[in-house]
Amino acid sequence: MKSLVIAEKPSVARDIARVLHCQKKLNGALEGSRYIVTWALGHLVTLADPEDYDKKYKEWKLDALPMMPKKMELVVIRQTAKQYNAVKTLLFRQDVNDIIIATDAGREGELVARWILEKSGCRKPIKRLWISSVTDKAIRDGFAHLKDGREYDNLYAAAVSRAEADWLVGINATRALTCKYNAQLSCGRVQTPTLAMIAKREEEIRSFKPEEYYCLSLLSGKVKWSWQDMKSGSFRTFSKERIDTIAQKIKEGKLTVTSVEKSAKKTYAPGLYDLTELQRDANRQFGFSAKETLNIMQRLYENHKVLTYPRTDSRYIGTDVVGTLKDRLRACSVGPYKKLAGSLIMKPLATNASFVNDKKVSDHHAIIPTEQFVQMEHMTNEEKKIYNLVVRRFLAVLYPPFEFEQTTLSAEACGEHFTAKGKIVISSGWKAVYENQFNEEDEDEAPESVLTDQTLPSLTKGEVYPIQNISVTSGKTKPPAPFNEATLLSAMENPVKYMESRDAKAAKTLGETGGLGTVATRADIIDKLFNSFLMEKRGKDIFVTSKARQLLKLVPEDLKKPELTADWEMRLSRIAKGSLKKETFLNDINAYTVDIIQEIKAADGTFRHDNLTNTKCPECGKRMLAVNGKNSRMLVCQDRECGHRETISRTSNARCPKCHKKMELYVKSGEDTFICPCGYREKLSAFKNRREKEGAGVNKKDVQRYLKQQQKEAEVPINNPFASAFANLKIDE
């Protein structure tokens, strides 16, 4: 008898099949002596659309809402039906004794496999492979310690509850808004609060009134001193009269050193990466979107196998991983990391609770390198950047703390208080991993609110110095910065300050459950908001569109609040732990759905397209809407049933030869043209000719072709004639 292994993707299935020695190719599977390995393609099965329950739902009508199926039905996704049928055939093979679920170890991964089993009607025994990386060693260890599938029944119940609740609330509310206001309006418990946060930030920026403030500094005893308000501790004042009075008062005075405080300090490396933190840093440093970072991480996990599972919300590793740390260091001891990793390999590793904590590891531990040997020459430039972030963070936590001596000087002049500070580095510690260039700036920290370090001479308490170079500077308070992808991810992860209620329990739940969305879904949510033209980018900053502002006025209040997600996640977590019944939760969701549909029906708001153009849709003849996509400008038909759209221009990676900014490629009936904000224009053909003359680098296809050729050559024996001769040589025993 054989076991059927169901992986989530073909690439993972191939790795498992290789380790299990399954080499015989079947339709959508690989077979060996003990195992058959097949795969899904993400979800093969999903919840049925409304029209599958009743034909009347095919036409969107307000009076047909809410749609409340008595039992949620599953349907096979048409695009991947061929693979589903292949898996179903294998499930019912006579020689298949049990099923091993090897999909991603998490709530959604459980759903992928269980829905296939549910739809097919398979009732064979289930075992579960639960691993955080797809290296050969991890797969072998996982198969040596397979778990009983019944242990994950509650996790499956939580996954189904989440999917059915999102269907009931999301589809009903979206249809109600769209029918009521005759516009393509969508809402959901995660995307709508996310929009509300951005709109709230924009309102804060609009209503912000800048105030002028003043700072005072002076030079005395070869030290730059800053005036400090003794009551508030601030280094600035909003009264010009006060700062001028102080400047006049100390003009002829002397400065007396009142204290010299020296203290040894140390700072520890920042924590290991979870997906959200990695997406934030990748956006700050390289401008990668959350979706791009996730896709790159997925390739490093699945194809290169050099990093562990990406969709994790933990920044810790368990004690079981500590024993493998040196193997991981040896694997990544290449190129720029060779010296850094080498110094750790040669001595005992110091681990501590700042990154090793079993209680803080959820389904998966933090993102760290695997034990797989690294070949960086096979990585793209983008993959190298993400790999570099993860490896340096991994090395940093294993290095000793950064140690320095902090000196704080206080002085008094004419009754006013002055301060200066400096530090002397004792040991670079973990900062050596970042070549002492680690950026610790807090984006919300006002630069004038902290003292800058300087090299200080040796001063003693009680010394008196003449005052020189009194300088009064002024500035204006700044509004909060608009969201970019990095700061939006932070707000989604910790949306507590955007809660209208000050419910401590809900705030605690949001903190414990990871905020709005999950590490696995946030990138898709942001992308969806761009693609539905509810958000747009201006430079790196994100703003809501007119459509989104109107939507937020029309949508039920509850759907705009992060508290709704807090409540859901808290209850889903209880279902996963077995302390709440799925049916209880879904009964409450049914009642909630009825309430919000009644609220939408009773509302008296209006929706107006304020981005109508005079261009008519070639399909239906109605006027089209001008919209800004994530990286493009488009015309979209206002009729949701027509759905025609065409691209006007898109931001390219081509740089202007004059100002070196990115140019937009305008799509025209004649020839496409690059246009730069500085006014420079260039036709596509002229651009290609110029690049050829400049000797531009090869494109990605050329690189891939070259790498494949190199791989083929590496597989061919070096001495071909001899190899052929020996292969044909027959030796009688």
Catalytic positions, please? Answer: 309
Please give the Cα distance from 521 to 89 (Å, whole number). Answer: 31
Residue type, 533: F
Burial 666-682 (b: 16+ CB within 10 A, else e): bbeeeeebbebeeeeeb
| Phi, psi (rounded to 5 degrees) for 275 | -65, -45
The Cα-based distances of 697 to 187, 286, 314, 380, 694 in angstroms read: 45, 21, 40, 14, 9
Which among 310, 294, 292, 305 has a CA at the least distance from the CA of 332? Answer: 305
Please give the Cα distance from 128 to 113 (Å, whole number). Answer: 10
Using the structure block, give the residue that is written with the tokens 């001495």: 719
Please give the Cα distance from 646 to 624 (Å, whole number). Answer: 10
How many residues does the structure list for the chain? 733
3-state SS, residue 693? helix
Using the structure block, give the residue that is written with the tokens 């100002």: 659
- Give residues with Cβ within 8 angstroms of 627, minimum separation 6: 533, 536, 545, 611, 633, 634, 635, 636
Q: Which residues pair with 476 in a beta bridge?
A: 212
Please give the Cα distance from 149 to 128 (Å, whole number). Answer: 5
Using the structure block, give the residue that is written with the tokens 């009743």: 54
The DSSP string of 302-361 is: HTS--B--S------B-HHHHTTHHHHHHHT-SGGGHHHHHHHHTS-----TTTB-GGG-
Please give the Cα distance from 733 to 712 (Å, whole number). Answer: 35
Using the structure block, give the residue that is written with the tokens 């992986």: 7
Using the structure block, give the residue that is written with the tokens 């040896």: 330
Helix ranges restricted to H, 467-545: 485-493, 504-513, 522-531
385 CB-side CA count, 13 A: 17
| N-to-C CA span, the chain | 38
Phi-psi region of 236 (alpha: psi -120 to 50; beta: other; left: phi over 0): beta
Please give the Cα distance from 88 to 523 (Å, whole number). Answer: 32
525, 166 in Cβ contact below 8 A? no
Give, to the nearest 10 degrees, the angle between helix 275-286 and helix 485-493: 160
DSSP state of 669: S
Both structure tokens of 703: 């690189």
Residue type, 350: A
Cα pseudo-dihedral 146, 152, 153, 157, rounded to 10: -150
- Give residues with Cβ within 8 angstroms of 447, minimum separation 6: none
Please give the Cα distance from 459 to 352 (Å, whole number). Answer: 38
Whether omega for the bond prior to residue 50 falls within 30 degrees of 0, making it cis, is: no
Both structure tokens of 449: 């609110």
Using the structure block, give the residue that is written with the tokens 């003990």: 34
Signed CA dihedral, 487, 493, 494, 497: sign only: positive
Please give the Cα distance from 285 to 484 (Å, whole number). Answer: 12
374 CB-side CA count, 13 A: 26
Please give the Cα distance from 560 to 551 (Å, whole number). Answer: 10
